[in-house]
């Protein structure tokens, strides 16, 4: 990788965005509700950013955004797979409440969702990109109405991992359309057009821009981004098996190419908001639905309870007039906590259906919360569905210091997050940690009881929700 180019890109990002300077203090009318822009990536792990001290990946624009944002450096995807995260983002509920605990099932069309809540509060709402909450086939048309969960403007598709000339549908037309070129770029331009149309309006907006990358396939970013990375120079995490290292380096090079392309789009979004004056009153949330093991622990993708799978990048850019200082935060914010936190920041009433935590008072320094959170897998499926791969149902508790998980047979994994960052030394059964293991197990039991989670076998929940599954416990889908 060309480190000089990285330095040039970083300097350029700081110069254009103005992020090396303190955010300007802007007087905003008291009655002006803040706009909300959610930038959601797919399968971007927390370790893959420049600001997280990754020595390889080029993310100068994201690093600049981080410098003026709240950085939840311990953000967690509590059920690290696509649809469960997205359903929790929209509802502020845990997976066993909204019922989307695996991919390719439908979120209840009667759910109280982000789109509906913000629409009722007077917002223009829009959704662009990957949806993955409809359950009618990955290329099916999602008609206007309750299956769009309150989003009015619509240029989206259920799910695709073809990022070049991929399919989408617009507001009212059931005819398939094709994004021009690399869809990350076209989707971003569409979001910029939506926000530009709102410049002179009297209503705030909620826009979700949901990119499909950097999810596999890893080697399909535009050539100019792939050329930025030399696989031979990629550094690997200390938990990648020797026999996988060459392939993982190649895949990381492609993964990082997608990320740098996304980074350019993040810079484009922030620059446009700054030029239009909208940045002064727009909350920006950058996050990913889950991480990617990418060779760590000998596996790829997600679902498993390891750091590379459950930890995600999460930034909240919050305008100055809302009174919250930027900087890193330790709190273990989870997927169901994003919606209530946004509602708090926007002064919108919290529906009774919301289960997540509102972190507004934490951000204002009025409350200390977020020292632990739940993680889990209700039903392993897809790429992690076979017993020979170690697939299992699990529940766990992630604290600032430890990660503890239990499967249906009892204690499974216990790691010291600080002394063992690559999670290579399982402390379950270690006599020196008997008291700690017992304490974490009791805390997990209490958290599960509070959440109403009986921790039953996955098939029990599949039967309860009447999901059709194949012999591997996976919901079949049509492309």
Residues with active-site annotation = 82, 132
Task: Say if residues 424 and 238 touch (Cβ distance below 8 Å).
Answer: yes
Q: Report which of 338, 31, 26 is spatially closest to residue 203, judged by C-alpha positions.
A: 31
Task: Say if residues 394 and 386 touch (Cβ distance below 8 Å).
Answer: no
Strand partners, 208: 38, 127
Task: Say if residues 286 and 314 touch (Cβ distance below 8 Å).
Answer: yes
Tokens of 238: 């200390």
Distance CA 46, CA 249 (A): 18
Pairing of strands 410-416, 402-407: antiparallel
Pairing of strands 167-168, 314-317: unpaired
Q: Report which of 127, 80, 131, 125 is spatially closest to residue 105, judged by C-alpha positions.
A: 131
Q: How far is CA 75 from the centre of its chain?
A: 9
Distance CA 292, CA 80 (A): 9
Task: Write a three-state SS string for 241-275.
Answer: CHHHHHHHHHHHHHHHHHHHHHHHHHHHHHHHHHH
Task: Say if residues 137 and 152 touch (Cβ distance below 8 Å).
Answer: no
Please report, to the nearest 10 degrees, the dihedral formed by the alpha carbons of residues 168, 174, 177, 183 taken in order: -10
Buried b / exposed e along 371-388 (16+ C-beta atoms within 10 A): ebbbbbbbbbbbbbbeee
If residue 83 lies in a helix (H) or strand (E), which one and from where to where? helix 82-91
């Amino acid at each position: 990788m060309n480190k000089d180019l990285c330095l040039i890109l970083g300097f350029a990002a700081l110069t254009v965005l103005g992020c090396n300077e303190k955010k300007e203090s802007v007087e905003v009318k008291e009655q002006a509700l803040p706009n909300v822009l959610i930038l959601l990536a797919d399968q971007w792990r927390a370790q893959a950013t420049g600001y997280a001290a990754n020595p390889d990946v080029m993310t100068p624009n994201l690093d600049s955004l981080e410098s003026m944002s709240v950085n939840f450096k311990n953000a967690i995807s509590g059920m690290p797979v696509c649809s469960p995260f997205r359903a929790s983002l929209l509802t502020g509920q845990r997976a066993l409440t909204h019922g989307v605990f695996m991919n390719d099932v439908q979120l209840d069309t009667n759910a109280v969702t982000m789109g509906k809540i913000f629409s009722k509060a007077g917002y223009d709402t829009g959704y662009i990109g990957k949806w993955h909450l409809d359950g009618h086939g990955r290329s099916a048309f999602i008609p206007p109405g309750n299956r769009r969960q309150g989003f009015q403007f619509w240029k989206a598709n259920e799910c695709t991992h073809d990022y070049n000339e991929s399919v989408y549908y617009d507001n009212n037309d059931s005819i398939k359309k094709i994004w021009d070129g690399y869809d990350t770029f076209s989707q971003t331009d569409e979001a910029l057009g939506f926000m530009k149309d709102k410049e002179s309006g009297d209503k705030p907006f909620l826009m979700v821009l949901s990119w499909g990358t950097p999810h596999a396939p890893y080697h399909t970013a535009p050539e100019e981004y792939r050329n930025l990375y030399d696989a031979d120079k990629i550094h690997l995490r200390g938990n990648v098996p020797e026999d996988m290292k060459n392939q993982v380096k190649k895949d990381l090079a492609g993964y990082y190419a997608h990320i740098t392309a996304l980074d350019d789009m993040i810079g484009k979004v922030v620059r446009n908001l700054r030029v239009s004056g909208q940045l002064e009153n727009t909350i920006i949330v950058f996050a990913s639905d889950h991480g990617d093991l990418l060779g760590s622990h000998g596996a790829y993708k997600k679902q498993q309870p390891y750091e590379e799978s459950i930890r995600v990048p999460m930034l909240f850019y919050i305008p100055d007039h809302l009174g919250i200082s930027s900087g890193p935060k330790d709190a273990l914010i989870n997927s169901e906590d994003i919606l209530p936190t946004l509602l708090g920041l926007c002064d919108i009433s919290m529906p009774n259906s919301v289960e997540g935590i509102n972190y507004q008072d934490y951000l204002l320094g009025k409350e200390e919360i977020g020292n632990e959170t739940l993680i889990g897998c209700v039903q392993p499926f897809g790429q992690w569905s076979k017993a020979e791969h170690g697939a299992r149902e699990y529940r766990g508790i992630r604290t600032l210091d430890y990660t503890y998980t239990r499967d249906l047979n009892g204690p499974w994994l216990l790691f010291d997050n600080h002394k063992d960052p690559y999670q290579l030394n399982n402390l379950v059964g270690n006599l020196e940690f008997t008291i700690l293991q017992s304490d974490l197990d009791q805390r997990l039991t209490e958290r599960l009881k509070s959440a109403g989670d009986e921790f039953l076998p996955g098939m029990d929940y599949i039967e309860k929700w009447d999901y059709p599954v194949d012999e591997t416990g996976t919901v079949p889908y049509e492309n």
